[in-house]
Chains A and B, each alone.
Chain A
């Protein structure tokens, strides 16, 4: 098997990591700096992995290795979202050559909109709970054989597929000024899911039910139209369009829905 050159080139990567030992330990909040050997094709994850192998700060102090969340490392699972040099993104696709080509310091922080677990790990459970709230699924009768699904044009599939690539990574809500622990706003990703499932022929059978979940407090009218979400979405999902579609459909439902009851 091929083994790429694992030996360092003498070049060092400079990481500055915001750490905290636990949610109820704000006193332990601190920045720690690490210098680790550069590797070809290095990303922020592999820099953090280097810290694990020799967990010492630049001052030479032995510390616990940095704690972070990751899984796929190819930007499809959404796990390793964090704030890198001030921008929310996945650490796996943050390549050292691109973000610090001349050895600049890389600042790494946890997301701020979710309860902190430790260091770079936060608890994004709220997003998964909100998926329940907005009825983010198709109501199939069961998994027994019922033949093929509804036909769909290639154009409709091409519109639906990009909306379906949301990894629940949290970038959009991190960037959203309306999303925080004092509001109930479900956030751009959840509104996008409402649009996604309402587009599907079987999903549309429960369109009104889904719309009603976002017509009250925390729903689509909580969007402040800053459009930050679409700027940071790593999958380039047209979140602003999705919010507009859901908003229009919700308004229609609000104005005319009672006539249909």
Chain B
């Protein structure tokens, strides 16, 4: 039997749901919860306006079909499934593709300054893995603009009163309470294992405090910092995901890490140059002659090798990211044809990304945001000089396993409490931290979409879950929460005190660099089993050494040193899930590529990697498990839901191959393949 009121607990407290993370996915979830009249506590590591979503540049996909190309959500679904090398659960993708036009219109209504056509309509540009103009954009800072729009809407709820079921305002209670500069530590589970709140730490005062909540939603983003430097923000350590994984949440497809083909080097970070540069006509090339030492402008067109156009004439510079990164890697590492750098006097592992043939005003209007980044950080004017770029870790396709309920249409059942539920009852995950939508490789401009769509699904799902509860978390004995808080407090004290007097104690930042160097070198574009064995050995070594880490900061205030030790410990756990998952999967699929197993192997590996944490740090990979959702037991297997688009081999050499089933050209394509 459900509780009497969803607004107040038996004890009279306002019943809230906790959302961790204030990027696009978290904020959209908050808005949907507020619309469903569920008050929220929003906990974020940084002020939400500084979340990593700001870094998204190129745009957001939606098949609005304003260019007369015949684009449709069906084609969007197919290209996403195909680009993801048939590892994504297709009902989720269908739901997302169908909702996409409405999502872009909603953002438009919120005031996002999307670029326009002369008629005043939304403009769309091309992105990877498609031939259609499907990507809406606001210059080249689309993620920032979307995040600001949602942030503004959430701010409205920060001043909105909580209204009880009689329509009366509850004094002093606002729909959203924000806790910024708070670090998530763990979820709190009652004796049945249900999530009833969380413990977090104020990063200014270092106070550790429990939060009661009828449900917890993790929207904490990716884990690129496991790889040391990446295109991700410094906050993307994956610490929250790792923490709940260690508490029993299943982690899925960890080995699928997207490497973006075009980034610029930096000592602290690898800065992304968006795929939109190629969407607007940018071309990737190297000199045909590796010994060519001329400046790029002096190399005539016929002496240039436009690598992607040559290898993949069908999609050219806009092949999906896994394919473009491998092609650039092959050119630079295996063929030694990276471009010559007069400063170092040798061929570096870089290729040209060239926009110099485009009009400067056009570029300023559509790409200023990224060209500004290149100009500022590389110190070279990209309007008149080809940019020098190389691949960098960019996105986690894998993440916390989350459920969905399929409906009769093959899409997902709106409002089902199973949607986006993790395997810990009452804990949800949404955004990059979950594993849905993208399969083995994400298409560009699908991440902003999956974050917002995920939020639109998770809000109602959590609201349904809350309604199903017989008892609010606020009516449970305080001792459950106090015990968890004490556990976190003890752990924090341990970090502060351990190894303080030890002579050769380890420095956590240096240890992190070692982890990052290993992961980046040996667990990214090309993977080899013998090398992966060494990576796993290295992780074990670091697991042992991390116990000798000494926190270099004894301060009781804003102690980033202690916080970093905690994140480092959690990163090591995720690193193992990633590396061991890669070691196990003996095939090549999307971003996961093993030269020794160069083909996709559907017979053995058309399945989701499901990782469970075991004591002593081991990872247990399972084929099935069951969990409880809103009082019902759900049995889960590792089968991928491929009910909508039948898997076939990816062929980006051929134009239209990614959309051939929806456009009715599949049979044609097959004939051509036979001919070739």
**A95 — which chain B residues lie within 8 A by C-beta?**
376-377, 379
Interface residues of A in 73-94 (CB under 8 A from B): 73-79, 92-93
**A39 — which chain B residues lie within 8 A by C-beta?**
267
Interface residues of B in 2-60 (CB under 8 A from A): 28, 31-32, 35, 46-47, 49-52, 54-55
User: Is A226 located at the chain interface by the 8 A CB criterion?
Assistant: no
Secondary structure of the B side of the interface? Answer: mixed
Of B28, B110, B113, the contact of A140 (CB 8 Å cutoff)? B110
User: Is B394 located at the chain interface by the 8 A CB criterion?
Assistant: no
Are A70 and B116 closer than 8 Å at their CB atoms?
A: no
**A102 — which chain B residues lie within 8 A by C-beta?**
none
Interface centre among A52, A62, A203 (most CB of B within 10 A): A52
In the bound complex, how far is the Cα of B109 from the Cα of A92, in angstroms?
33
Of A21, A148, A168, the contact of B49 (CB 8 Å cutoff)? A168
Are B46 and A79 closer than 8 Å at their CB atoms?
A: yes
In the bound complex, how far is the Cα of B557 from the Cα of A117, in angstroms?
8
In the bound complex, how far is the Cα of B266 from the Cα of A54, in angstroms?
20
* CB proximity of A75 to chain B, nearest CB, Å: 7
From B125-133, B151-159, B186-194, B283-291, the one touching the partner chain is: B151-159
Are B267 and A40 closer than 8 Å at their CB atoms?
A: yes
Mask: chain B, 483-518; 1 = CB below 8 Å from A; 0 = not: 000000000000000000000000101100100010
In the bound complex, how far is the Cα of B122 from the Cα of A98, in angstroms?
40
CB closest residue in chain B, given A156: B116
* CB proximity of B455 to chain A, nearest CB, Å: 9
**A22 — which chain B residues lie within 8 A by C-beta?**
557-558
In the bound complex, how far is the Cα of B97 from the Cα of A127, in angstroms?
37
**A65 — which chain B residues lie within 8 A by C-beta?**
509, 552-553, 560-561
**A92 — which chain B residues lie within 8 A by C-beta?**
268-269
**B141 — which chain A residues lie within 8 A by C-beta?**
76, 165
Are A147 and B105 closer than 8 Å at their CB atoms?
A: yes
* CB proximity of A54 to chain B, nearest CB, Å: 7
CB closest residue in chain B, given A49: B268
Are A140 and B109 closer than 8 Å at their CB atoms?
A: yes
**B365 — which chain A residues lie within 8 A by C-beta?**
158
**B121 — which chain A residues lie within 8 A by C-beta?**
148, 151
User: Is B324 located at the chain interface by the 8 A CB criterion?
Assistant: no
Are A74 and B520 closer than 8 Å at their CB atoms?
A: no
In the bound complex, how far is the Cα of B378 from the Cα of A95, in angstroms?
10
Are A140 and B153 closer than 8 Å at their CB atoms?
A: yes
In the bound complex, how far is the Cα of B521 from the Cα of A4, in angstroms?
11
**A131 — which chain B residues lie within 8 A by C-beta?**
152, 155
Are A43 and B155 closer than 8 Å at their CB atoms?
A: no
**B558 — which chain A residues lie within 8 A by C-beta?**
22, 67, 117-119, 121
Are A21 and B555 closer than 8 Å at their CB atoms?
A: yes
User: Is A183 located at the chain interface by the 8 A CB criterion?
Assistant: no
Interface residues of B in 515-572 (CB under 8 A from A): 517, 520-521, 524-525, 552-555, 557-561, 564
In the bound complex, how far is the Cα of B52 from the Cα of A77, in angstroms?
8
**A52 — which chain B residues lie within 8 A by C-beta?**
509, 552, 561, 564
In the bound complex, how far is the Cα of B268 from the Cα of A158, in angstroms?
33
* CB proximity of B532 to chain A, nearest CB, Å: 14
CB closest residue in chain B, given A93: B376
Are B114 and A137 closer than 8 Å at their CB atoms?
A: no
Interface residues of A in 129-161 (CB under 8 A from B): 131-132, 136-140, 142-143, 145-149, 151-154, 156-158, 160-161
Are B509 and A157 closer than 8 Å at their CB atoms?
A: no
Are A53 and B510 closer than 8 Å at their CB atoms?
A: yes
User: Is A202 located at the chain interface by the 8 A CB criterion?
Assistant: yes
Interface residues of B (CB under 8 A from A): 28, 31-32, 35, 46-47, 49-52, 54-55, 102, 105-106, 108-111, 113-122, 138-139, 141, 144-145, 148, 152-153, 155-156, 158-159, 204, 233-235, 259, 265-269, 271-272, 329, 332, 348-350, 365, 369, 373, 376-379, 390-391, 393, 456, 507, 509-510, 513, 517, 520-521, 524-525, 552-555, 557-561, 564
15 additional contacts, CB 8 Å, given A71-B235, A146-B109?
A1-B329, A1-B391, A2-B265, A42-B268, A70-B234, A74-B271, A74-B373, A76-B369, A98-B379, A117-B558, A121-B558, A132-B158, A148-B105, A148-B122, A154-B118
